[in-house]
Amino acid sequence: MTALFDGSGRKITLGSKIGTGGEGSVYDVANFNGRSISSSNLVAKIYHSTISPEKQAKLQCMVSGQDDQLKKLAAWPLATVHTKNGGPVHGFLMPKATGAEAVHHLYSPAQRKQEHPEASWAFLVSVARNVAAAFVAIHSHGHVIGDVNPNLVFVSRDSTVKLIDSDSFQISGNGKHYLCEVGVPHFTPPELQETSSFHGVRRSPNHDNFGLALLLFHILLMGRHPFAGVYSGSGDLPLEKSIAEFRYAYSRNAASKKMQPPPNSVTPSILPTNLATLFERAFTEAGAHSSGRPSARDWLPALESLRTHLRTCGQDSIHKFSASLSICPWCTQENQFNVCFFISAVPTGSQTAFNFNQVWVRITAVQPPKSVRPFSHTSFSVQPRPLPPELRSAKQASLVKKIIAVVLVLGSFAVAQPFIIFALIIGGFLFFSGEVDSSERRARQAALNNAQEEFSKLNERWKNEAGDGKFKEKVKELALIKSSYEGLANQFAQEKQKLQQNLREDQLRKFLSKALIADHNIPRIGPTRQATLASFGIETAADLSWQSVIRIKGFGKTYTSKLVNWRKSIERRFRFDPSKGIDPADLAQIQKQYTQKQKQLQGAFLAGPEQLMSIKQVCQKQRQSLPALITAAAERVAQAKADMSML
């Protein structure tokens, strides 16, 4: 791919690779039509292999149908990319989603508290509103997203969003529908849950509306899935089955579906009534009918209204909530359930006041599940399965043959010597030809092996999922976090002491870093070799060492010596000044690192009570569902062993 072209024959030069996926790789575009491109605004997706004529036509259709709105809200194809002018499509150019990350980093409470502790619910509401606006744009152009999933939406720090993977969208144009043939099961609407493949399946905006409602539910209600709840019916209920059966756990009629929200959940009751009603329509049977679910245009004004009608909690300024509520739902979660969804930072000088002991009390207040004992298969009284009649007859005949063989051999010793060898041969034939149960034995042994393997696996699940091991591990992990946090101040003091001890080395490093290789005339080190060095992170005298240069192919001892000698010449000009003391910039840097580490530990620690409760809930659920399975498996082992005893 040394020479690439767009659909109009303009030359494209790729920059560095940004990432690789299943279909292709994404590169920065360094130059387009002779004009340098900022690495922040244009990228190219290049497919690993030749794409079908249908996919080529789809991309060309998308390029011809682009406009400012699509380019703003999606990573939309701006131009097709070809390996030769006029050749087949090999990729496409698109806008780059800079400074953004997948939306699930925000709606996951644990991730948000660790990575974005400053994000409040007001920010999430704004993100939800912008997601709906992006769907409005796609649908207004006659397209359908199809594969709605948690990685579809990327969010910037200003809450703006961009939809990625647009080449997988279902596109309408040129009188055709270019289909989306992929999907994520837990984002697939109920009416498509039985679809084994999306090949040839034409999606509708109403299918997208299900995925949109799921994303909005995740964003607004702390990452919960609307169909994952407490099921009081018999048997297991996989999430896909729950979706297919419209078992919306937060519905007004959830009890009729034998469902209820998980304990301590944030429910749609924190939302204005109109938004809760939209979720009800989206996730119940009525939504499966044509245009039955709320559209993106239905969501947009409701979310816009919520965004402009938020209150700030009087107790904690990071708590934002709907003005339709009289009390703060986040304080309720903290006070009643010891669940904290947003980090409350109270500055005291340059640091943040945070009571780890107070949170530790909340952590230790979560009672651990009791330990469990493994199940046994020796306590069952079972009746062995009789052998088939024909096998019983055959075994009786075999027994007769064995008796005859023994009598024949023993009798031969009472007669002449020559008869002994003959009797042994005949007796051996009769004795060993009597094994007639080999096929039945193999079948029963296989049944026993399978039963034991299943029982062993279920017992292991019982130990891992229903036992207290994971709970203890999490408590130990949180104790280590607490210990690390308590040691931060000492670490900070040690780092400052190191700065004082290394004053000369730090001053030398700063002096050398001001000497750019490109600014000096080093013999035989021209622009090409300078670019090579820069590619290896060597741009100043401070970056230079014998080891860092000699490993670069093409430099060898000669050029390495020239560069090292140049560094030494710069170093000879250095004069240490002990009166300068610690550089304030260095002190600020370690203070920044200390503060970031402090926030990360606070976020991880604050998530502890919720994580422990979650582990406990999973444990309790498994203690309810697994015993019946293990008991049945244990009985099958006992039965299989009894069956083997008949042989």
What amino acid positions are annotated as catalytic residues?
147
CB 45 within 8 A of CB 25: yes
Query: What angle do the packed helices 296-308 and 205-220 form, to 10 degrees?
Result: 20
Q: What angle do CA 212, 216, 218 make, to 5 degrees?
A: 115
CB 590 within 8 A of CB 496: yes
Half-sphere exposure of 303 (CA within 13 A, CB side): 28
CB 39 within 8 A of CB 52: no
Q: What angle do CA 194, 195, 196 make, to 5 degrees?
A: 110
Rounded Cα gap, residues 469 and 604, in angstroms: 20
The tokens of 342 are what? 């947003």
Secondary structure of 177-221 in HEC code, one letter for each residue:
EECCCCCCHHHCCHHHCCCCCCCCCCCCHHHHHHHHHHHHHHHHC
Q: Measuring CA to CA, which residue among 185, 196, 289, 184 is closest to residue 238?
A: 185
Rounded Cα gap, residues 515 and 519, in angstroms: 7
CB 640 within 8 A of CB 447: yes
Between the CA of residue 145 and those of 138, 326, 428, what are the distances in Å?
7, 38, 77
Q: Which residues pair with residue 230 across a beta bridge? A: 260
Q: Which amino acid is at 567?
A: R
